[in-house]
Chains A and B, each alone.
Chain A
Amino acid sequence: MTWRAEDQRLLERLEDEALFEQVWRALAGTDDGAPHPRAAGVLVALREDAETRGLVEAARRGDMAGLLKALHRPDPARLAPRHAHHLALLWDRVADVLEPTHETGSVLARKHSLAMWAWLAAEPAYLEALAERVIDGALPPPEVGRAVQEAPLASLDRLGARALADANERGDRGRLALAALRLVPEACDDAGCGDELRRRLEARSRRHREAAVDAAIRRVDDRIEQSLIDHAPVAELVEHASEAAAIWQWAGRDEQVERFLVQRLTPALWDRYRERAWSDVAALLRPLQAPVESLAIRIESDPSKLAYAAPCAQIFVFMAEVASQFERQLALAERALLLCETHRNGRLVLADLLVERGLRRLDRAGVFGAGDALNDAAADIRRAESLFPQLKRLPAAKQRLKAKGVDLDA
């Protein structure tokens, strides 16, 4: 009996399917949810490439490490389109199976899948050929072209739809979809994307994230609006602010929510501030602390976010005003000016606190007040004057300093 080429192909298919069962178990940690046996085709390209053939042979002998690494980190320069297609689907499947139990692994698997779709987006010839065979002339060429262009981005659309669907309930699937969408820049790196494609993918990812976050905060926004119209008790606003902070966590500490919190609650904070309702101000600030701190770090590390510096600084000023410890008040006021050097209220509050510290230092300096305490007090009052020369307490403070022998106007 002769051994024919098709017999060899059948043997290889069966051997690949047997090995793929082990590969799936290694990737997903379970036999459940395995993809269609055709997914074993992911081994074909590896077997046919001289550089990776040994990995498949080693895996058959029980050493899976090299093969798994090749599946995790395929070299974009050596990828074949069909192999990338297999990998895109395989990793998406792994992500689905891991989702309920291994969130980090699931998100990373999703990123691998996105990287492969991104790689395919840069290889339209494969998708065009596939589309021609599948559509078989049933659509006009421009429509086929559009479908081919959109196809690799569809995985982003699917994640966006999941995030949007879960926005109101802040569900886990939506949260993980948003986490995966945030990894699009990394996926582009892994795929070796060019600038134009990267911009396209990142813009699509951003649009989906914004849509989901918008949907999540819309309801809170409406409630805040209603509470403000009703002059509702602060506890109601605190509840809404806490919900917005929960959305911030759900959305992976999203900047959009940070900006929303700052912009939306600042007027309410001003109202309570003018009423000198300090405990209300403190209560309303509590849920804002972590998001505002996060926004401040973004602003400090990215000059393009300068537009948000002043509103964010104002929140730190509020925090400084109601902090219970003097040193904490000073630190918060300093933080406000670090964010926005020209912030009027920040300068006023810090100047006032510096005068206060200067006077306390003068008190400690004693009758013959000399030495470090006097010098430190002079430095504080001098800085206060430079920050806010019109400060009402400033002349009296300078007078006291003069009485100790330090004339700042000399």
Chain B
Amino acid sequence: MPEPTDENPFERWGIDPEQGPAAITERMRELIEDATDEATQKAIRAAWEALTLHPARRLTAALGAHPDSHGVLGAAPPRPPRRAPSQVSLELRDLLARPSALAALGLEREAEAPLPEPTDPIVDPDG
């Protein structure tokens, strides 16, 4: 007998009915391990018992669950290949803004000005 979806153990616990009792047990074990509270663990255990100990009830629940028409998802896509390290070695001056960029921003004078004296808020609280 098809039960309302939210009460159907296959759908509630994300189990494919066609995978059989072994897959149900495996999935339930994972779920119990992941469950953080006792009530959820208890509910999962009850569902496991209902599905594995009563084959007729398992069939009833399977008929009440949407079949997986899209098929199993398969393996995740392969990771993109790792890039080889760059052959170009960077130096500190490569991090400085180029004169053309400073000109575009109108910051030539600031770029030529000497750097301010470093301040230490602990030694010089007014700094």
Q: Which residues of A approach B to under 8 Å, CB–CB? A: 1, 4-7, 9-10, 12-13, 16, 35-36, 38-42, 44-45, 82, 85-86, 88-90, 92-93, 96, 127, 130-131, 133-136, 138-139, 143-144, 147, 151, 154-155, 157-158
- Interchain CB contact under 8 A, A38 and B77: no
Interface-side segment among B66-74, B82-90, B113-121: B66-74
Give the residue of A4, A16, A90, A130 whose beta carbon is less than 8 angstroms from that of B18: A130
Q: In the complex, A12→B2 CA distance in Å? A: 27
**Known contacts A93-B5, A157-B1; A86/B77 CB under 8 A:** no
Give the residue of A12, A36, A45, A139 whose beta carbon is less than 8 angstroms from that of B5: A36
Closest B residue to A83 by beta carbon equals B69
**Known contacts A38-B11, A155-B2; A135/B59 CB under 8 A:** yes
How near does chain A come to B61, taking the closest CB pair, in angstroms?
Answer: 9
- Interchain CB contact under 8 A, A82 and B1: no
Q: Is the interface of B mostly helix, strand, loop or mixed?
A: loop
Number of residues of chain B lying within 8 A (CB) of chain A: 31
* Cβ–Cβ < 8 Å partners of A4 in chain B: 74, 77
Closest A residue to B52 by beta carbon equals A138
Q: In the complex, A391→B63 CA distance in Å? A: 69
Interface string of B1-28 (1 = CB under 8 A from A): 1101100100100000110110000000
Q: In the complex, A10→B74 CA distance in Å? A: 9
- Interchain CB contact under 8 A, A134 and B11: no
Q: In the complex, A9→B62 CA distance in Å? A: 23
**Known contacts A134-B62, A155-B2; A41/B69 CB under 8 A:** yes
* Cβ–Cβ < 8 Å partners of A131 in chain B: 59
B75 an interface residue at 8 Å Cβ cutoff?
Answer: yes
- Interchain CB contact under 8 A, A86 and B66: yes
- Interchain CB contact under 8 A, B69 and A135: no
- Interchain CB contact under 8 A, A35 and B70: no
B55 an interface residue at 8 Å Cβ cutoff?
Answer: yes
How near does chain A come to B16, taking the closest CB pair, in angstroms?
Answer: 9
- Interchain CB contact under 8 A, B55 and A139: yes
**Known contacts A1-B80, A93-B5, A135-B59; A38/B67 CB under 8 A:** yes
Give the residue of B20, B60, B71, B78 whose beta carbon is less than 8 angstroms from that of A154: B60
- Interchain CB contact under 8 A, A39 and B66: yes
- Interchain CB contact under 8 A, B20 and A136: yes
- Interchain CB contact under 8 A, B4 and A96: yes
* Cβ–Cβ < 8 Å partners of A42 in chain B: 66, 69
Q: In the complex, A89→B4 CA distance in Å? A: 9
Give the residue of B55, B66, B71 whose beta carbon is less than 8 angstroms from that of A89: B66
